Amino acid sequence: MTGPGSGVVIVTGASRGIGAAIALRAAAAGYAVVVNYSNDDAGAAEVVQAITGSGGTAQAVRADVSDRTAVSGLFDAAMGLGPLAAVVNNAGITGNLIGPLVDVPEDTVRRVLDVNVAGLIFVCQEAVRRMGRDHGGSGGSIINISSTATKAGSPGTWAHYAASKGAVDVLTVGLAAEVAAEGIRVNAVAPGSTNTGLHAAAGMPDRVERLNSTIPMGRGAEPGEIAAAVLWLLSGEASYVTGAVLPVAGGR
């Protein structure tokens, strides 16, 4: 198995927010980083420039994770940079709306499930094919980004999104047991309220601040704090950790 901080890591949805923070921290740890994105060319280019400008190795690859063929192409590009060590499944959407489940349009429900569940499954399948010992690989690590929204179900706001992240948690546990013997560890990080553009895109830029009073630590997370948890799970210090869902939520 490729050692911590060596080899290639794919970070999906890495052009901004938590994904960008993970990509930057992974590069600082010594990984070559594939910055995956679906449509934010400028954001992905900025992340790549930040990495290469600091002496790291990075490549932006445009691919919609809900497209199985595009996912295969993403992994082909990553393998061109060197041995694949890890995959971080960060790509996820809310549908850019906030409201009760009864008002969520059908196309939004289907798109959220396509990206957050089907897309994550497609990426996990390809990761196992490329890294699993039964498939000729050397092992590796998969980190899925979940959400603490699964705890309460996000009633009145993002119940559809919370449901998709519940699927992420279940898949993490099941896949971890399936592929442990292949040398692949599978874990999840579940961020709480985090200061990213996700809330503004849904029309509530002050949402994190308004939730501060419900968080024991009194504030939302910064993307780098989520990234730090991901990098710990990728490291050798977490070598006996698999099937875990790690909440990073300030006690909420």
As a whole number of angstroms, the distance between CA 59 and CA 121 comes to: 23
Considering only CA atoms, which of 80, 92, 96, 67 is closest in space to residue 11? 92
Within a domain: residue 102?
Answer: yes
As a whole number of angstroms, the distance between CA 34 and CA 9 comes to: 6
52: tokens are 């290469």
What pLDDT, in 10s, does the model give residues 179-198? 999 999 999 999 988 787 66
Q: Are 45 and 39 in contact (CB under 8 A)?
A: no
104, amino acid identity: V
Name the band, by pLDDT with cuts 50, 70 and 90, for residue 3.
very low
Number of structural domains, the chain? 1
Considering only CA atoms, which of 72, 65, 73 is closest in space to residue 117? 65
DSSP 212: G
| Domain extent at residue 156 | 8-248
Within a domain: residue 1?
Answer: no
More confident site: 188 or 218: 188
- Residue 216 sits in a domain of what CATH number? 3.40.50.720
Within a domain: residue 149?
Answer: yes
What pLDDT, in 10s, does the model give residues 96-132? 888 999 999 999 999 999 999 999 999 999 999 999 9
| 21: three-class secondary structure by DSSP | helix
Within a domain: residue 2?
Answer: no
Within a domain: residue 60?
Answer: yes
**213 has pLDDT over 60:** yes
Phi, psi of 243 (to 5 degrees): 75, 15
If you average pLDDT over residues 25-29, what whole number do you get?
Answer: 98
Considering only CA atoms, which of 31, 123, 48 is closest in space to residue 82? 31
Within a domain: residue 3?
Answer: no
- Answer yes or no: pTM beyond 0.75: yes
Query: What residues have CB less than 8 Å from 235, skipping those under 6 apart?
Result: 4, 5, 29
As a whole number of angstroms, the distance between CA 216 and CA 11 comes to: 30
What pLDDT, in 10s, does the model give residues 138-181? 999 999 999 999 999 999 999 999 999 999 999 999 999 999 99
248, amino acid identity: V
Residue positions annotated with a catalytic role = 161
